[in-house]
Each structure stands twice: as structure tokens, then as C-alpha cells.
Chains A and B, each alone.
Chain A
Amino acid sequence: MGERILITGGRLVCPASNLDVMGTLEIVDGRIVGLHPGDATPGPGAVRLDATGCVVAPGFVDLHVEVGEPGYEHREDLQSAGAAAARGGITTLCAGPGGRPPNDHRGATEYLVRRGREVGGVHVRPVAALTRGRGGERLTDMFDLAEGGAVAFGDGDRAVEDAGLLRRALEYAGGVGRPVFVWPELPALARHGVMHEGPVATRLGLKGVPAAAEDAAAWQAVVLAEQTGARVHLGPVSTAGSLRALRYARDAGLAVTAAVGAAHLHLTDEAVAERYATSLRVRPPLRPRADVDALRAALAEGLIDAVTSLHRPQSAVEKEVEFDACAPGMAGLETLLGLTLRLVDEGALSLTRAVAVLTAGARVLGLDTGRLAVDAPADVVVFDPAARVRVEADAWASKARNTPFLGQALPGHVRWTLVAGRVAHAAERGEGWP
């Protein structure tokens, strides 16, 4: 028998298996071997983690992450992204295809998986490009990429403009057995826009991206999902119009899932007005209050499956410039839990639902994780939901500092993150620590 870890005294929460009970989680050799309700502590363990007052949940699965590697290591790399993820309770991160070169060939996919394993500390699951060079013209070798470790296909934040090609891509990916990530934005409508089109953009003199750019693309993806029967993941969504398309997809029983960025559940376009802060330039853009409220309701109701960090690290080089010249994106790995739990504090989500939306990525991708069950991989997070942690740049493991939440106290303190039974992050040492 190998290493044995006991996580005792915590509240075991696993929405996937309908579990919410006080008890002890028993881990041996990287797998969960027992869930013991009540106080009964089974025998002496090699390592004991005291989770009193904490939630013990499946490790979070983050569907939309830019890891900076290869090509943008000044922003982030797999080591820093992995450490940041572990600090945030994330045990699986999906690395987007937007490296330099892009992940459109098996070597790149295998590199991300291998390097992620070596230095990342968490599971790195690549989303490989749907088209070569993310150019929107020719499909990638999807079977090959899937064998190399790609869990899904998509061109990141580049929308496939050619609807005919998108249709073929969806059909082909269905044969490979992987979902397609569709970035819901019609470039012809979004062009030149740097924030949401509306009264705030008008007042600030910034060019807008109309909600219609997203709505139309979401509907197009849903209609093509219906036509092809393919698994389509819409992500990230940000408009009430996208939600109407999702509702149609759900009613029609289509294999369509969706994710929303954590910051998009809190910030509105009005925030940009204060001082043109470049940390607020993101894609999709921050939307008005009505959309934010609709997104919150859709998340609570289950119309949106998952919350994502939408982690897009940028350095000061990209951000200490004019608003319309800055690179879009916000760093989010280390605020994902806090922003999601803030929704619980605000009464928008139950704690169980919060755990569900942080782990639903496993179901979206069809992974064998995201649950607390005997024989499941021991990807586990232990967090204190009542503790508040101030967002401090110096404390971050990520290289990035492009967040508007600096200085704010967010709920949720991650005590331990276990990836396949190995401690990837520990705020403190456990008893019997080797």
C-alpha cells in the first residue's frame, strides 16, 4: 500500500454524485478509496489534513486558460500558470491553442501535456486548434491531436468566419469524439470594437462591440449543432441573447454546453468609465447590468454549465498603454474561486451550485475527474469558504498582474489542492507531513 492521505472533519461536497455530508475523505495512491461520513476517523493515516470548517470538493476544472507557453513566457508559463491554478484550487486547466506557434500539431499538444506534468503540478489538458494556424481555412489533424492529448478543438478567441467550414469541423470532430469550443463572436460585427457597444462606450468615445456580434454567433453555433449533432461548447458567453440561444438548445436536447467568465458575473461596462483602466479591456467585453443579472440567473438555473477564469495574462508592456491599444484579457486563475464564492455571499448561487459550476468542466470534456467517488482520481480541493483573502499582487503565483480586483478581499481560502493525490498547493502543513 502506497501513500495514504486522510482529509478529516470537512464538509464533503460533490454535486456530480449528489453528496453533501460531513466526513472524512481517504486517498491512497492518488485515488479516492473511501468517503466516511460522520466523525469516524478510519485508522491512523500517514498524512492527515484537518479540514475542520472547510469544504472538501473535487478539484476545479478551468475550461479557458491561456498559459503563455510557448511564445509568451514573459506573460506566463506552464510553471507559473500551474502554481497559480493550484493556489486557486484548480486541478485541471485547459490550455488554449493561442501560443506562438499555435497548438495546431501533435508535437505542440504533446509538449503542453508533458511540460504541464513536469512543471505545472496540475493536469494540463490542451484545447487544440480547430484550423491550421488558427487561420480559419483548413482543418487540423484532429484524430492525431486527440491521440496526443487534445481534449477539445477550437481556435481560441478567433472565431471561424466561414460557416461552411465550421459545419464541416463540427461534423469531423464528432467522429473524433471531442467537443468543439466555439468563440461566439461574428468578426464582421465586432471589428474595431474595444468594449461593449452602448451608452457607456458612446460617452467614453470608445468603439463598441455590439451584443449582436455574440448573439448571432451563438445562434449560428446552436443551429449548426442541431444540423450536425456535434458536441458544441459555447465559451465564453456574455450576453442575454446567447442565453436565448442556449435555452433553445436545451429545449431541443442538443449537446451544447456553455461557460461564463467569473469577472463577467460581477463587472459591468460602467466600470471602464472611471479611468479607462486597461485591466477592464477583455474579450468578450464587460456588459451592462441587465446582461450580468441574466448571466447570474442562467448560471444558477443550470443553463450555463461552468464558470471559467478566462485567464489571459498580460504584462505591463501590453497593459500600460492607451485603452484601445492595450491587449485584451484579465488574469483570473487566482480569483476564480473568490469571485464564484462572492456570488454565494450575494445570494446568487448556493454553495453546492458554486462547486458544481467550478467542476462542471469535467462533464463538458467527458473527463474522469470532477467528482468525489471511490476509485475516482484524487483531484481534491480543501477551502475555507468563510475566510477572506485580499488579492495581493506579491502573493500571486501567476506572473500576471492584470486584474482589476487588486486590493479587494474575496471570500474563500484554499488550504490544500491535491492533484492525483499529490499536494500541489498547501497553505499550511498537514499532520504527519513527510
Chain B
Amino acid sequence: MRVRRHLLELARLSREDIVGLLDLAESFGGISRRPIKKVPTLRGRTVVNLFLEASTRTRSSFELAAKRLSADTLNISGGSSSVVKGETLLDTARNLAAYQPDIIVLRHGSAGAPHLLAEHIDASIVNAGDGLHEHPTQGLLDLLTIRQHKRRIEGLKVAIIGDIAHSRVARSGIVGLSRLGAEVVVCGPPTMLPPGIEALGCRATPHRDEAVSDADVIMMLRIQKERLAEELFPSDREYAQRYGLDPAALKQAKPDCLVMHPGPINRGVELHPAVADGPQSIILDQVTNGLSVRMAVLYHCAGGGEA
């Protein structure tokens, strides 16, 4: 089994690795602005998108990224758990590996599922979100978007607000941002701030105003209504008032503060419509950059840039 390049988590990447991928993504961004949005870079390569947890955005983005690089794609979606499917994840992956794909992009509800595949399957594994663990391409696209608007990451104050405990976006965000020198503050009700989150490279506070104050960037996280049943918060109404981002709260940030959200948005809950659609919102830039980042990651994992 030859050595494969995987992207399992940002936590395993150095600052230089991350900057390298961002630069690469930047260069791929040009392709999507051309009339002919396709290059032959990965012609003859096969990318399997194995999405065993519901996803529209990330799956579409990976699919389009592969196609713009001329790779052949195979999309497989299904229920997440081995038990439900009646076939184990490894068996599914071994079957796919029999087609000799170069890359398997995995979205899965269990943290560590991409690591399991990387250990047993002869293909490059790209983590497209594993349980509550990481969503590395989301982390990279957030970094790229911030860098494009602010021209730097280092020294910026970035607030991440929402259900930190149940967010892989937050984990990849904290790791990536702190590795590139940003000051990261995470915020949510204490029920949503997991123990020891600071060790990933951030401060934690239950007070929104403290997080927002003088921020250069605010990343809002989607609040899942299911968490109501777990008593993580008492009501939508109180959440919106205390942890949502409305124009008044945004005023406490720096005047040129960027507002980000990984989508899909709960309008009126974590994000006031006026903020979501306001001039400081760069949510759609995130989507565009997602494509560039995923092209860069596929190129990198397929061995691009290797002598």
C-alpha cells in the first residue's frame, strides 16, 4: 500500500500546511471565474463522494470541485450508522476501493470514521465532516474568506457563537484560526461550551457582548432545534435574544466586522435577517470559496505538486 495523502483534520496540519492549501485554493479560484470552468488537472482520476450523513452543500461543492478538475466522480449517499445500513462502513469502503478510486471523500456521523478508513483502505481519505469532530474543508474555506477580506489572519479577533459543543465547524475553525495567529473567542450558553475547549486554542465565554466587542470577524453557528429536547437551551426566543446576532449586538464589534455562517441559516434565531443580508455578511463568499478550497484539497490529495 503506497503512502497516501489524507486530509483528516486541521489539528494535524502545521501552519505552513494550512497556508499552502490556502494559496493553492486562491490559485484555483480563477478557474471558476473563466468562461470555460474546467481544467484537465485530475483527468483520469476517480473521486468517490461517500456521504453517509445528510448534506447538500458540502456534497455539491465537492462534486463540482472534482468535475472542474476533470475527475470522474461517483456519489454515494445513505444512512449513517453501520447498524442501520446492515453493512459496516469498512465493508462499504472496501467495495468502493475495489474500483481503485484515488480519493474517497467521507461525510459521516461518527467522529473518527475517516481515520478508520485511512487505516484500512487504500485510497486518499478526505474528511467532509465527521460527527462532532472536524470539518476541515469548512475550516479552510472560512480562513480563505477571512484572508481575502482582511488580508491577514494574524492578530484578528474572531468570535464563534453558538452550539460549540456540537459543532465540528467550530472545532476546525478554532484549530485553523489559532494556528494562523488569530485571537479566537467562543461563546454560547454554558450548556453548549464543552469542557476543555480552550485547549484547542481559544477563550470561552457565556456572554455574547464580551465575545462580540471589538471583533473583526463573527462566525455564527446554526442552532439545531433538536437540542431543545436535550435541555441545552430553554427556547428559541431566549436564544435569539441572548445569543443571536442582531444589528444592535453587531454594533459592538468593529465597524468593518465580517459576519459569517456555515449555513443553512435559521433566520431570526441565531441570525437576524438584517444582519444575514447586510453589507457585513460574507456568507455567499464562503460558498464560492468552498469550491476553490475543495479543488485545492482534491488536487493536493491526488498527489498534486509532487515531484
Contacts and interface: CB of A to CB of B under 8 A. Distances in A.
A320 B88 contact: yes
Nearest to A320: B90
B133 A202 contact: no
Interface string A274-311: 01100000000000000000000000000000000000
Interface string A188-212: 0000000001111111111110000
Contacts of A325: 81-83, 110
A200 B112 CA distance: 13
Interface stretch (B28-36, B141-149, B192-200, B260-268): B192-200
A324 B90 CA distance: 14
A219 interface: no
Interface residues of B, number: 29
A11 B83 CA distance: 52
Contact of A203 (B82, B113, B130, B199): B199
B232 interface: no
A321 B89 contact: yes
B112 A276 contact: yes
A206 B110 CA distance: 8
Contact of A205 (B82, B83, B131): B131
Contacts of B196: 198-200, 202-203
A205 B11 CA distance: 12
A183 interface: no
A323 interface: yes
A199 B133 contact: no
Interface in B91-116: 108, 110-113, 115-116
A276 B89 CA distance: 15
B183 interface: no
Contacts of A275: 112, 115, 119
Contact of B134 (A205, A321, A324): A205
B171 A205 contact: yes
Interface residues of A, number: 20
A402 to B, nearest CB: 15
A205 B108 CA distance: 12
Contacts of A392: none
Interface in A77-115: none
A322 interface: yes
B195 A205 contact: no
B65 to A, nearest CB: 24
Interface string A321-365: 111110000000000000000000000000000000000000000
A322 B195 contact: no
Interface in A97-148: none
A63 to B, nearest CB: 31
Contacts of B11: 203
A276 B168 contact: no
B200 A207 contact: no
B199 A202 contact: yes
A114 to B, nearest CB: 35
- Among A198, A275, A325, find the residue whose CB has the most chain B CB atoms closer than 10 A: A325
Contacts of A199: 195-197, 199
A199 B193 CA distance: 11
B132 interface: yes
Interface in B153-205: 165, 168, 171, 194-197, 199-200
Nearest to A272: B112
A360 B212 CA distance: 59
A322 B110 contact: yes
Contacts of B130: 205
Given A204-B133, A205-B134, A207-B132, A323 B195 contact: no
Nearest to B196: A199
A89 to B, nearest CB: 34
B199 A322 contact: no
Nearest to A324: B110
A321 B197 CA distance: 27
Contacts of A324: 110-112, 131
B83 A322 contact: no
Contact of A322 (B113, B132, B168): B113
Contacts of A202: 165, 194-197, 199-200
B131 A206 contact: yes
Interface string B59-95: 0000000000000000000000111000011100000
Contacts of A322: 82, 89, 108, 110, 112-113, 116
A199 B83 CA distance: 29
A327 to B, nearest CB: 11
A276 B111 contact: yes
- Among A198, A199, A202, A208, find the residue whose CB has the most chain B CB atoms closer than 10 A: A202
Given A320-B88, A321-B89, A204 B112 contact: yes
A198 B113 CA distance: 21
B138 to A, nearest CB: 13
Contacts of B171: 203, 205
Nearest to A192: B230
30 contacts: A198-B195, A198-B196, A199-B197, A199-B199, A202-B194, A202-B196, A202-B197, A202-B199, A202-B200, A203-B171, A203-B200, A204-B112, A205-B130, A205-B131, A205-B133, A205-B134, A208-B194, A208-B195, A275-B112, A276-B111, A276-B115, A276-B116, A321-B88, A321-B90, A321-B116, A322-B82, A322-B108, A323-B116, A324-B111, A325-B110
Interface of A: 197-208, 275-276, 320-325
Given A198-B196, A203-B200, A275-B112, 19 more contacts: A197-B195, A199-B195, A202-B165, A202-B194, A203-B199, A205-B111, A205-B133, A205-B134, A207-B132, A208-B195, A276-B112, A320-B88, A320-B90, A321-B82, A321-B88, A321-B116, A323-B111, A324-B111, A325-B81
